Structure 1
Amino acid sequence: MSSSNLFKATVNEYLEGLPQPVQSKLYEAPATCLAIFRLLTPMAKFYIMTMLFNDRPVALRDLDRWCKPHAKKLQFDSLKRLTSLHLIEEDRGGNHIRLNPTFRQNFRNCLTGSQQSNAFGNLCTTTDKHRVDISFLDNFASSKWETILHFMVGTEATATPTTSVLSLLKSGGLMEGPGNSPQNLKITNTGFQFLLQDVNAQIWTLLLQYLNLTQELHMDPVDVLNFIFVLGSLELGKSYLVSSLSATQVSMLADLRDYGLVYQRTDSSGRFYPTRLATTLTSDSAALKTPSMAIEQALGASDGGEEQQIDTPTGNQGTVIIETNFKLYAYTNSPLEIAILNLFVHLKSRFTNMVCGQITRESIRSALYNGITADQIIKFLETHAHPQMKLLAKEKLDKKIEFDTSHNINTAGGAPQSKVSGEGNVAQHKLEILPPTVVDQIKLWQLELDRIQTFDGYLFKDFSNQQEFDTLSNYASEVGVLVWSDKIKKKFFVTAEGMTQVAEFANRKFQRNRQ
């Protein structure tokens, strides 16, 4: 799972765990409705938009017609998430569903522009005599955020974050140590994992911990959440009135300044500016361009300029080059990035603008013992890969696609349907930015430590006939909850989350057959 999807799933899990009255109160704010919609999966968004302007309830039997048969797992996950968030409600008979009326009305207003004028904050109409532009806000946000990350990795001669940030790092399990002295705090396994996430995921990790402390801080969690979601909908570079905020939200400004989410010139200033860290809270956009990222981009431009900027899933300009012999070169002088690389790379040489190292079994094992997974390491290397690596990967992918398409056409004798078959095979190819040998070996090194895997779930057995077993096990496989099955012994094992879904399907299916 990508970091982008990871942080969205984590936020959704938090929202799903809230009591229903709290969820209903959240939906009274149009900005919150928009933010929650952005965090949903594509299929969940499809269901919302299909029912949004339809006041009539939708029959459950019609839902299967809205998606293809192979998408049953996506359908199940989407409906389960919408139900947990109480965005959809069933009627008394359990045969129809409809959107939560409060959410429908406020989300409608949000999309049609009918919401209250202050639903997305009150813009300051007067000009700020102290010039604050987007570049200034980006520098402020990156400085605040990199101070936190530098402190976690133990970079020497760096500023110490504020007391509130330190307490949040400790209570969130990212750092540990006796007392509250900064010198006593050491990074934890969870903290190592935190460092390899993208900035959005990191911010939400701290914000969710902040939300967990709202009761101790005597703050209204609905008010706190609404303000966080409003920040995600504000315009970067614009200032907003503090006077339009509630007392809880005003008290949050000091903490959000420490995280770099908002800029306020003084504690008593009547205006505040959201930074890029705040305005991208519910989007897939890069949260900010830190100083180290700016260096990466400059180096990437000097190696080929705009002609080498290609459209790849990774987005940002990177610095890391990896060879098939596991040697790594990183064109960076950022202490933060070097410290993060040192978590899983055996660094050997350091120059003015480059470090050299080797990915070894021992360096990867050290990272694995610290709680970092192979997928996190691979994702980090892909994200920070040099533009030349991305360019070569795209060229290889284009050649594979061209070869497979022409091969299928020639094999079929030039028949029109062969082209469609070729495109089907093309879809199976992926962009391989890193050398496959390196990716496979990192995963194998992790498998050396993960020889046994355990799963929590339920065993289905004692079926009356083979058809009954096949029907249920095939359904469990379709919805993606099947872990293991044995056709001869007529037994299969499903995840704990999927047990209810399979049991309900069995009751409906076999009860109908008996009738």
Structure 2
Amino acid sequence: MPSLTTQSETLTPESIPHTLLPFLQSQSQNTLTRLYQRPSSCFSIFRLTGPLERQIIMNLLWLESAIPIATMSAWVIREGKKLYDAALTTLANLHILPQSNVKLALNPTFKASFRQAITGGGNSSSFGVPAEKDDKRSTNTVETLDAYALERWETILHYMVSSGQGSLPTKPSQGVLYLLQRSGLMTQNHGSALQITSAGFQFLLHTPHDQLWDLLLQYLHMAEERQMDLVEVLSFLFMLSTMDLGREYSTEGLSETQKAMLEDLRDYGLVWQRKATSKRFSPTRLATTLTSSCPPLPTSTGTSGGPQSQGFIVLETNYRIYAYTDKPLQTAVLNLFITMKYRFPNLVVGMLTRESVKKALSNGISAEQIISYLTTHAHPQMRKNNPLLPVTVQDQIRLWELERNRLKSEEGYLYKDFGSHADYEYVLNYAKQLDVVLWENTSRRCFFGSLDGHTNIRGFIERRTNGAV
């Protein structure tokens, strides 16, 4: 058996836990055991775990009996003890390992299914059932699937950036719009069109892979209220992640929940179907890379995460911005916080102004998020500077934010015209005990109380006037 080694405690992209793992750890043991009956689910979850967790699983996978926990611990160097304990905790929370201080053994269901996933055999359709080749129909190529996925995904991002305004060639489905609202990425103000939120702008800074899982996690949270079987939903996503790109699969072996999911996943660009009633479908690259480290889009025009999208912004000390890009989505994101001056085929020129930044702030975008975006996408030539962005520009953006936050409005009631200073002090002290005083002026014998405390204060004044207090 190979010895168990650990890495240093430096966080690397591979060592950062996947966003789905906390959700899986919050599920019951019964739910996870049902999920582990599918070999594709076990294989996908194995890929989502960290390198140390994967090594522990592989060390235990082919053992026919449990081993003492002291035996495994003896293989761990002292510097790696903390990482090793964290890995055991993660696997125990996933119910892959038992909660035991004596012996270690893999969950029997997980072990059997994962062995089958690696070695093959059996008649399980958890990896999908390939559809019979139909020479009469033109089979989708990888290029057409990539173009379809890119178009669907960018439709969602373009809608978020434009907040439903402007001329969009296509609009996301109602299901996607509802998901964007439930995720807190967009909000509806006074019956108007959906508006991007601060969380939505932060979402645009993520890689396409992280963006996709952010939406899918909210989709999983909504499964119960939609009366969908969570195990079926998860297993279908894991099934898609193990399928071959460019191959057609049959819908015959899918459950009713999974067939219903096809309509939603078409809207996100994860699957392609010739028509809604088709008995076959093809996963796109967005789906087949769900549990891998490969990029989900071939030529991602997202706002981060690919070489095409990084290093295109030059910021000068006079607040002028030059963006070397021909991507409409990147131009639309910049338009959220700059004033456009000129647009050329591969260059956008604009200015950071007080009005443009205040407009972004009113839409929920913070000064730090603007600075972070400019830093993340700074041109390679700018990365020679120290500091990377002009300090004067950074400070001015923060000052514009502070200027906007100087005043804060809140509804309430003004209490004045007290008969004596004693009456004023008596009522004021009562209001302070309730912690509802927002402002006070002793010389004028008046104070302003919050809306929530008005009923209690009014009742107190009436009781004092009637002599009950």
* Common fold by TM > 0.5: yes
3-state SS, counterpart of residue 22 of structure 1: helix
CA distances 1:141-171 after superposition (whole Å, capped 9, x unpaired): 1111111111111162112211111111111
CA distance in 1, matches of 2:349, 2:309: 15
Q: Does the CA contact (< 8 Å) of 2:173 and 2:267 recur in 1?
A: yes
Matched, 1:101 2:101: no
Which consecutive residues of structure 2, in runs of 5 or more, have no partner in the other structure?
Answer: 1-10, 403-469
| Bigger shift: residues 143-152 or 209-218 | 209-218
Query: Does the aligned pair in 1 maintain the 2:97–2:104 contact within 8 Å?
Result: yes
* Aligned-partner Cα distance in 2 for 1:329–1:97: 58
Q: Identify if the C-alpha distance between structure 1 residues 70 and 320 changes in structure 2 by more than 3 Å, giving closer, same or farther.
A: same
Matching residue of 1:138: 146
Counterpart residue number, 1:339: 332
Deviates more, 1:147-156 or 1:372-381: 372-381
Which secondary structure does the structure 2 equivalent of 1:267 belong to? coil
> Does 1:157 pair with 2:157?
no
Note the 1:101-140 alignment, pairs <5 A.
101-127=108-134, 129-140=137-148
Q: Select the residue among 314, 323, 329 that pairs with 1:330.
A: 323
Q: CA deviation at 1:133?
A: 0.8
- Give distance in 2, aligned partners of 1:72 and 1:373: 41
Residue 15 of structure 1 and its aligned partner are, at CA, apart by: 0.6
Q: TM-score, normalised by structure 2?
A: 0.71
Letter of the 1:438 partner, please give it: L
- 1:356 is paired with a residue whose SS is strand
Query: Which residue of structure 2 lines up, in the alignment, with residue 307 of structure 1?
Result: none
* Change over 3 Å in CA distance of 1:359–1:95 after alignment to 2: farther
1:109 deviation in Å?
A: 1.0
Check if 1:316 corresponds to 2:326.
no
- Report the Cα offset of residue 76 of structure 1: 2.9
* 1:197 equivalent in alignment to 2:200: no
| 1:437 equivalent in alignment to 2:430 | no
Q: Pick from 226, 249, 269: which aligns with 1:217?
A: 226
- State whether residues 44 and 79 of structure 1, in contact with CA within 8 Å, keep that contact through their aligned partners in structure 2: yes
Change beyond 3 A, Cα 1:250–1:374: same
Q: Give the structure with higher Rg (CA).
A: 2
Once residues 109 and 31 of structure 1 are traced to their aligned partners in structure 2, the CA distance between those partners, rounded to angstroms, is: 9
In the other structure, the counterpart of 2:188 is 177
**Mapped partners of 2:375, 2:35: distance in 1:** 38
CA, structure 1 residues 184+380, in 2 after alignment: closer, same or farther (shift >3 Å)?
same
- Verify the 8 A CA contact 1:262 1:273 in the aligned structure 2: yes
SS, match of residue 104 in structure 2:
strand
Give CA-to-partner distance per residue, 1:211-251, whole Å, 9 cap, x none: 11112211110001000000000000000001121111111
Range moving further from structure 2, 371-380 or 351-360: 371-380
Instruction: Note the residue ranges of structure 1 that are not aligned, 5 or more in a row.
Output: 297-312, 394-432, 451-515
Change (3 A) 1:315 1:169: closer
Q: What residue number does 1:71 align with? A: 80
Q: Secondary structure at the match of 1:176?
A: strand
Q: Distance in 2 between matches of 1:274 and 1:176?
A: 31
Of residues 17, 38, 53 in structure 1, which corresponds to 2:26? 17
Structure 2 SS opposite 1:79: helix
C-alpha change, 1:371 and 1:113, in structure 2 (3 Å) is: farther
Q: 1:356 to 1:69 in 2, by over 3 A?
A: farther
Counterpart residue identity of residue 156, structure 1: G
Could you say what secondary structure the match of 2:292 adopts? Answer: coil
- Is the Cα contact below 8 Å between 1:320 and 1:330 reproduced in 2? no
Q: How does 1:5-84 map to 2 (within 5 A)?
A: 9-84=18-93
Deviation at 1:42, TM superposition (A): 0.9
Q: Give aligned-pair identity as a percent.
A: 37
The TM-score normalised by the length of structure 1 is: 0.65
Q: Which amino acid aligns with 2:167?
A: A
Is 1:167 aligned with 2:178?
yes
Output the CA distance in 2 between the equivalents of 1:66 and 1:361: 60
CA distance in 1, matches of 2:115, 2:140: 34
> Matches of 1:349 and 1:216 in 2, distance apart?
48
Distance (whole Å) between structure 1 residues aligned to residue 69 and residue 128 of structure 2: 39
Richer in helix (by share): 1
